[in-house]
Amino acid sequence: MKSKMIFGFHAVTSRLRHDASSVEEIYVDAGRDDRRMQELVRAAKAVNVRVIPVDDQRLDNIVGTRRHQGVVAKAGELSLARNLDELLDAIDGPPLILVLDGITDPHNLGACLRVADGAGAHAVIAPKDRAVGLNATAAKVASGAAETVPYITVTNLARTLRELKERDILLVGTTEDAEKGLYDADFSGGSAIVMGSEGEGMRRLTRETCDLLVSVPMLGSVESLNVSVASGVCLYEARRQRIANGS
């Protein structure tokens, strides 16, 4: 099983909680013994995960950043990233999916996963090429959501979008120049909200494949929102409509 490094208290604690068997060992800052660290060490030992005290510099070298909070785990890949058919077949009720067309910043990806988890999205879908992968930075920013929200990468995003349409999932693309606004869309049925990349937005083929294009209302002086913020606005509008409809 391929291993990777995850770091930060949220990411490591969430992995221990959801799939402790995938955690091989945890490196902790030997100079830190506060309550938060004590609780993490106790949780690791409770599930028989080896904890290795090391100096802070070694932690920096392991992950290539100082933003590890004194805790780094070596862990196997999660089984969340299932194939799309398996995922859709397992959903009870209308699916709610976030599609990211070419997000390149791991901080944005992590934040998108976090809002997807918060809004109850069933999955996040992204292309394998020209997009950031689910690396340690993205997992840390996601604050545990990388362990709970399936992140499915596909080789051909346009084909995947067509497969979603065949399952009666409405594809709602977001773009600044759309004639309709976010609140004109009906998210009560199966829905996939499609977000474009930072700066360039959706690619042409992605845009053309969408059933509906909407814009997020911008009432101030800025022209657009960060992709993770816009994802949150759209996903929570979809969730609001579903709650109002009792679905």
What pLDDT is attached to residue 1? 52
pLDDT digits (tens, 9 = 90+) for 71-81: 999 988 665 54
Rounded average pLDDT over 53-67: 89
The Cβ of residue 222 has, within 10 Å, a number of other Cβ atoms equal to: 7
34-38, 86-90, 103-107 — which is least confidently predicted?
A: 86-90
176 touches 217 (CB < 8 A): no
Q: Containing domain of residue 52, as a range?
A: 3-76
How buried is 221 (Cβ within 10 angstroms: 0-12 exposed, 13-18 middle, 19+ buried)?
exposed
The Cβ of residue 165 has, within 10 Å, a number of other Cβ atoms equal to: 16
For residues 208 and 120, state if they share a domain: yes
Using the 3D structure, point to which of 76, 99, 121 is the last residue of a domain: 76
Q: If pLDDT is split at 50, 70 and 90, which confidence band does 224 have?
A: confident
> Quick one: what percent of the chain has pLDDT higher than 70?
96
The CATH number of the domain where 203 resides is what? 3.40.1280.10
For residues 68 and 168, state if they share a domain: no
Residue the block writes with tokens 């340690």 = 136
For residues 105 and 227, state if they share a domain: yes
For residues 117 and 236, state if they share a domain: yes
> Quick one: what percent of the chain has pLDDT higher than 90?
64
What pLDDT is attached to residue 81? 47
pLDDT at 121 over 50: yes
What pLDDT is attached to residue 71? 94
Chain-wide mean pLDDT for the chain? 90
pLDDT at 92 over 90: no
Rounded average pLDDT over 153-173: 95
pLDDT digits (tens, 9 = 90+) for 100-110: 998 999 999 99
25-39, 125-139, 171-185 — which is least confidently predicted?
A: 125-139
Using the 3D structure, point to which of 76, 98, 125 is the last residue of a domain: 76
Beta strand ranges found along the chain (DSSP E): 3-7, 23-29, 50-54, 71-76, 96-101, 123-127, 151-154, 170-174, 180-181, 191-196, 212-215
For residues 157 and 61, state if they share a domain: no
For residues 154 and 228, state if they share a domain: yes
For residues 72 and 127, state if they share a domain: no
For residues 139 and 232, state if they share a domain: yes
For residues 104 and 222, state if they share a domain: yes
For residues 90 and 180, state if they share a domain: yes
pLDDT at 209 over 70: yes
What pLDDT is attached to residue 208? 96
Domain count, the chain: 2
pLDDT at 82 over 80: no
What is the H or E stretch that residue 57 is in? helix 56-63
Rounded average pLDDT over 12-21: 84
For residues 190 and 109, state if they share a domain: yes
What pLDDT is attached to residue 230? 96
For the ranges 61-75, 130-144, 168-182, the maximum mean pLDDT occurs at: 168-182
What pLDDT is attached to residue 245? 84
What CA–CA distances, in Å, run from 94 to 82, 113, 126, 155?
19, 19, 20, 25
Alpha-carbon torsion (122, 128, 131, 134), positive or negative:
positive
The CATH number of the domain where 24 resides is what? 3.30.1330.30
For residues 239 and 143, state if they share a domain: yes
Using the 3D structure, point to which of 76, 106, 122 is the last residue of a domain: 76
What pLDDT is attached to residue 163? 94
Rounded to an integer, what distance in angstroms lies between the CA atom of residue 36 and that of residue 42? 10
Q: Tokens standing for 213? A: 């294009």
